Amino acid sequence: PYKLMDLPNGIKSLATGNEHVVLLNSIGDVYTWGNNDQGQLGDGLSFPRIQPYLVKLPQIVRISCAQNYTLALDYKNEVWFWGRLNYVSEKFQGHRVPKRISLPGSIGVSQISCGSTFASIVTVDNRVFIWGQNLCGQLGLGHKNPVDEPREMSGLKGVSGVLSATNSALFLTKDGRVYVTGRTGQTIYHTNPKEVKFNKKIVQIGASWKLDQFGVKTENGEIHRWGFHDKTGLPQLTDFENIVQIFSNGCTPTVYPDNYNYGDGFIVSKLKSETKSTKTEQVINKNSKEKTATKKENVGSTRSYIDGWSDVKVRLTDGYFAAHSKILRESSMYFAIMLDCGANKKELDLTEFDAATCRTFFKYLYTSKLDTVNVQYVPQLYQMADRDPELHQKCREIWERHLTRRTVLSMFENAFKYNATGLKKLCIPLLMQHSDNLLKSEEFKRLPNNVKRGLLSLLSDFTEFNLASMFHQMKFQI
């Protein structure tokens, strides 16, 4: 075994190809290492790496890879491709750096899956697009011809997830039904989606790109398996406790849904609906007269949910949108101070914050719906929501889910930066438990001195911690 260098911000997920590995950490960074003869590391070069390389990408929430290529889904629901996928157009051959995949109508993507020589994606409106090699009809398009660009599988709707195997694919619908395409038995092929019948609703599916083998879990916990090595191609009930056991001593499967909390991935739907939800609020216009405004949830747009009765402009790093001062004052002391004390009371400058986090907060104000938030940006959201106990609680829950020994120092630093006292205090139990090792670690030494002081001071408030002695040992002044 070869020990890799320590990677910051923990590990969220791993994906493996034939001879390369892709790692996604908890803040959306992607690292790759291994063979690189087909550009599968995404570094623009062709020589292999034994140490992880940080790929130049936006913040990523999901990864998938197969033989010599990788797909990555970013927080804006866009898909990136690099490496080589055979039997397709030049667009998907030999890309040594990540290239964004465009779908008709710029529809957003919610899930990705790499098969051995084909790829599948599910859109935010539950459609399937698929492309690549098709020798066994695995693309589900009614034929066995290769398809060199993403093409919609028109015969299947309402899909929540897809897993691509070697020459077959497995689909889970929103209502718990399962469909297959391609080779599902020794002599069984399906060029159109074929429903696999079960007595109970299916809640989880599993497959691997290296093997035409499938597993499903029913709502009452039963595990069924079937695949290429079965003559009948029909599911068989097992005594396994989970889907992963099906693939023991064979290959590492992908399981969907994987029961992992993807709260550290900010996902913005790109559906182009005009009024997905509406809500009525009383707001005050420029003349202080009461007006009723219907707020439209314009998801993913850089504009506000309503321009009609707005009286303040919000400036972000990537544009402006209109908002309502009354709602902002009532929801956030931070915004109230900015509006009352700022030089320009008609404009809020929020360029110090992440733009996507700001939109998440404003969407929550107007619709009471909280999108998935990257844990890196939770302190910003926490600071904005200082008059909203419910949102504060949601932020604390996200924060606690991601606190580990490996992440606690970086998370404390982030909370310290935005003076999120409640989030800093949540770090204390882990800091106390592992203080001997953490305070001697290289990560602690790299922290800014003001963060070190704040951390040690907070520890001393909760323990018999000798603050003066520790500061002396660290050789910096209080």
Average model confidence (pLDDT) for the chain? 79
CATH of 11-256, one of 1.10.3720.10, 2.102.10.10, 2.130.10.30, 3.40.640.10: 2.130.10.30
At residue 5, the pLDDT reads 64
Residue pLDDT, tens place only, 110-167: 999 999 999 999 999 999 999 999 999 999 999 999 998 899 998 898 999 999 999 9
Which two tokens mark 369? 């719906």
Residue pLDDT, tens place only, 335-353: 777 777 655 567 888 888 8
CATH number of 311-475: 3.30.710.10
Side-chain half-sphere exposure of 299, counting CA atoms within 13 A: 22
Instruction: 328-336: list long-range contacts, CB under 8 Å, 24+ apart.
Output: 328/365, 330/387, 331/365, 331/385, 331/387, 331/388, 332/384, 332/385, 332/386, 332/387, 332/388, 333/386, 333/387, 334/383, 334/384, 334/386, 335/384
Is pLDDT of 41 > 70?
yes
| pTM for the predicted model, two decimal places | 0.56
Torsion 334-335-341-343 (CA) sign: positive
Domain ranges of the chain: 11-256, 311-475
Maximum mean pLDDT: which of 141-145, 262-266, 414-418, 474-478: 141-145
